[in-house]
Chain A
Amino acid sequence: MTAPVLALADVRKSFGPIEVLHGIDFALHPGEVHALIGENGAGKSTMMKILGGFLQPTAGKVLFEGVPASWRSGVEAEARGVVVIHQEFNLAADLTVAQNVWLGREKGRFFLDHAAMRADTQGLLDQLECRVSPDARIRDLAVSDRQMVEIAKALSRNARVLIMDEPSAVLTSHEVEVLFRQIERLRANGVALLYTSHRLDEVDRLADRITVLRDGAVVRRALRGELTEDGMATAMVGRDLTDIFPPRRTEFGPVGLEIADFSVPPLVQGVSLALRRGEVLGISGLVGAGRTELAEGLVGLRPHIGTIRRDGRAVRIRSVAEAASHGIAYLTEDRKERGLLLDKTLRENLTLSTLDRFGWPLLSPAREEAALTQAIADFDIRAPRREMATGNLSGGNQQKVLLAKTMLAAPQVVIVDEPTRGIDIGTKSQIYHFIDRLAREGLSVIVISSDMPEILGLSDQVLVMRQGRVAGVLEGDRITETAVVRLVMGTSGEGAADPGPPDTDAANPGHSRPADGGPGNKGRAGPAEKAGEDA
């Protein structure tokens, strides 16, 4: 075995009086993919920040090639070849791809050598099979393309250690494949890779070595093949996860929401659906298929045409306020940018959309606090302090706050968009049970998700969108993974998109030969232009 290139020796880290890492020993070897897994709040991010030089340990040592690391910042660490790709990308939105890749290390002596930087960037992008132009502005790129740019940037730095914080969370399955090929190539070149993901099937597939973190301590180390996905989940949570999904509901009320010939130009065309009370409708489809746009149209965030009926009555919805008055609420997929005020307290976030119920003309702090106490109990929000900034909560707890905030309005129809993205398996299961509870209380719930097990495990009815249109609706026994994947990919069943063994590949429909390889699934403008082709 090679000597570790980067290691932690009995590293402890405290924020104020709270210790979040309790004596971590950890070694990263060249030519290996090392997966770091754990629930949200287990200390993964802190550990990665310490490895990347962004945080200094309170006690213990960071060892680089066997000697204590000399860097005191992420920039210094990067100069030594330790590159971190953060979950929140580190790209200048107004600069071009090439400018970002070479930021801080521009080529040329007195004048910038634009041609060389462009050409090299193009080379890196080609290597990554990324179709964006080196001259495109980051602002105009889809999230998945930004990820590719980050990786190109890391490649350009000849990284010796590459630390990736959930790189696949925002990628489509095809892009994930490209990413994996790159990871394998880097591994073959002797780069040490540290990788976190909540998709355990990916970990199983990629990682040579797995470290499981729980509550700030290493609870399990394993080599490839030593842990099954179930084993990983159990180690992360510290208990058996038998009922990730709640049992099926069997009783439904009358139709609560019906939309007909609903369009959100130019991204969504002619969608119709009917949803009973107590029913969960799953909406599946590729990123960019128009799912979020449909939801945003439904709640008045985007202009739309078509009819909406609530409990059989036609209603007009031109604003979020009107949607709220008709009992329709939307829980955004982008909790950091659209869902929560990260620098505000839990209380301020919780009551923001229903503030008119908390007193007039003066707000009642007592009533707000009571609502927070109730929400913390109802949604099992685990906050170290009530007065803390919401952004300092773990992702799963942020999602619970967002859910509590949405439910405070007591809507009858709830649309939840990617409710468990970037959330650990324990919290995921909790959120599934919350959704089930809402349905059992008689709400109509729409779940938009790219997570196939989630769609299959939660939905009474599945609507698949492709390129802005309804590709098909499945109900009851017809909801199978194969059926959903076929609709998602637009294949008619001749085996072009073999979904693979149902259990292991569940989160990654259609790895191979995807029909979505073209620009159709990139960017948000693509689908509409291509909508006519196979609809």
Chain B
Amino acid sequence: MRNLSLSTLGPLAALILLIVLGAFLNANFLSAGNITNVLARSAFIGMIAVGMTFVITSGGIDLSVGSMAAFIAGMMILAMNAMIPALGIGLPLVLAGMGVAILVGLAAGFANGFLITKVGIEPFIVTLGTMGIFRSLVTWIANGGTLSLDFEARQFYRPVYYDGIFGIAWPIIVFAIVAVLGEVVMRHTRFGRYTEAIGSNDKVARYSVVKVERIRLLTYVFLGLLVGLATILYVPRLGSASGSTGLLWELEAIAAVIIGGTALKGGSGRVWGTVVGVLILSLIDNILNLADLVSPYLNGAIQGVIIVLAVVLQRGKSTAEGR
């Protein structure tokens, strides 16, 4: 799509407006420290939201990603702690932990996708179920408390969240790569085209020689992979996981996707929009914390208004287009 419509520019305009507003309200807003802070915090939800864009575009939904992140974090920490005697503190341990996170993420995504496509249960129901299962498993393994990474391992692993190259933190770099790849995959590959086709009308896709079940399954596996990746970058931040890790991430990710202009009913995915949506959500949070204008406690309310407004604006656009 080379022609930029209101619906693509709308979220972008809102983002620019927020940046101007932020700069106006607080001199610190545009400081390197604050920008890094905002972007690094956005990165986790951002990566998950990119994956969620594919799932929603194919006509599905995944409510389990927040719990899945907690579960992956828990598994990763357990695995790393267990491997310290064998591998010692060092790069092999971290790489092994990352491998575990990716594998658990792929497996969890596959479990969701399998139940949805092969067993034929509604995505909402399946992921509502696994949402409870994943979170409860973490709580159970942690015995109601917190799973902590070994202190020395944590010290070694820490730079993955706090360091970077050329002054840009790793989470931001990885998020940027994921976003670019996501956009390319959605826009320029068969997988992306099929995802949109299935969300637009899965019967048409089936009659058009598209392997509908496989593509659907893959969207969940892809999302699982990205949740794993996000967890890899999240664990070094706190070095622990508990029953409340990643709480409500699924809703933030879905909100970002919707604000970005992807239709909840599927059929049209905008990865760039999702990135903009994630940034809008974290900027609102950040501005409220920096400025005394409105109580930060109203963060949720303002985000809620933005979500509803985004959908209203998109609907206005689609009725104008349909003759």
Contact surface of A with B, Cβ cutoff 8 Å: 15, 301, 320-321, 324, 330, 332, 337-344, 348, 352-356, 360-363, 365, 387, 389, 392, 405, 409
Q: Which of A330, A343, A387 contacts B207 (CB 8 A)?
A: A330
In the complex, A356→B189 CA distance in Å? 10
A341 x B201 contact (CB < 8 A): yes
User: B residues within 8 Å of A by Cβ?
Assistant: 3, 184, 188-190, 193-194, 196-197, 200-201, 203-211, 267-268, 321, 323
Contact A348 B189 (CB under 8 A): no
State the Cβ distance, B82 to closest chain A Cβ, in Å.
38
Add 11 more A-B contacts to A338-B207, A352-B197, A353-B208 (CB < 8 A). Answer: A321-B211, A324-B209, A330-B207, A338-B204, A339-B207, A342-B201, A344-B196, A344-B197, A348-B193, A348-B196, A352-B208
Q: Are A352 and B3 in contact (CB under 8 A)?
A: no
**In the complex, what residues of B have CB within 8 A of residue A337's CB?**
201, 203-204
Residue of A nearest to B193 (CB): A355
Q: What are 13 contact pairs spanning A and B, CB under 8 A?
A: A320-B206, A320-B208, A324-B209, A332-B207, A338-B203, A341-B201, A348-B193, A352-B205, A353-B210, A355-B193, A360-B190, A362-B189, A363-B188
- The answer for the CA separation of A68 and B268 in the assembled complex, in Å, is 42
Instruction: Sort A-B residue pairs by CB-CB distance and give the 7 closest, nearest first.
Output: A353-B208, A341-B200, A352-B208, A353-B209, A362-B188, A338-B207, A15-B323
- Chain B residues closer than 8 Å to A320, beta-carbon distance: 206-209
Q: Is the interface of B mostly helix, strand, loop or mixed?
A: helix
Q: Which residues of A contact B205 (CB under 8 A)?
A: 341, 352
- Closest chain B residue to A321, Cβ basis: B209
In the complex, what's the smallest C-beta–C-beta distance from B153 to chain A, in angstroms?
37
Q: How far is the CA of A206 from the CA of B211 in the complex (A)?
A: 47
**B209 near A341 (CB under 8 angstroms)?**
no
- A392:B323 contact, CB within 8 angstroms: yes
- The docked-state distance in angstroms from the alpha carbon of A121 to that of B209 is 43
Known contacts A320-B209, A324-B209; is A361 also within 8 Å of B203 by CB?
A: no
Task: Quote the shortest CB–CB distance from B185 to chain A (angstroms).
Answer: 9
Query: Smallest Cβ distance from B156 to chain A, in angstroms?
Result: 36
Smallest CB gap from B267: residue in A: A343
State in angstroms the CA–CA spacing of A461 and B186 once bound together: 46
Interchain nearest-CB distance for B186 vs A (Å) = 11
Cα separation A405 to B200 with both chains bound (whole Å): 17
Contact B200 A343 (CB under 8 A): yes
The answer to whether A339 and B184 have CB atoms under 8 Å apart is no
Give chain B nearest CB distance to A250 CB in angstroms: 34
User: What's the least CB distance linking A361 to chain B, in Å?
Assistant: 6
Q: Which of A338, A339, A340, A352 contacts B193 (CB 8 A)?
A: A352
Interchain nearest-CB distance for A54 vs B (Å): 11
How close is B43's CB to chain A, nearest CB, in angstroms? Answer: 25
B318 to chain A, nearest CB (A): 9
- In the assembled complex, which residues on chain B have CB atoms less than 8 Å from the CB atom of A342? 201
Q: What are the residues of chain A within 8 A of B210 when measuring CB–CB?
A: 352-353
Q: Which residue of A lies closest to B205 (CB)?
A: A352
Given the known inter-chain contacts A352-B205, A363-B189, please indicate yes or no for A343 contacting B268, CB distance below 8 A.
yes
Contact of A339 among B200, B204, B211 (CB under 8 A): B204
Residues of A within 8 Å of B268, CB to CB, are 343
Q: Is A348 in contact with B190, judged by CB distance below 8 angstroms?
A: no
Kindly state the separation between the CA atoms of A360 and B323 in the bound complex, as whole angstroms: 36
Q: Tell me the bound Cα distance from A461 to B296 in angstroms.
A: 77
- B197: chain A residues at CB < 8 Å are 341, 344, 348, 352
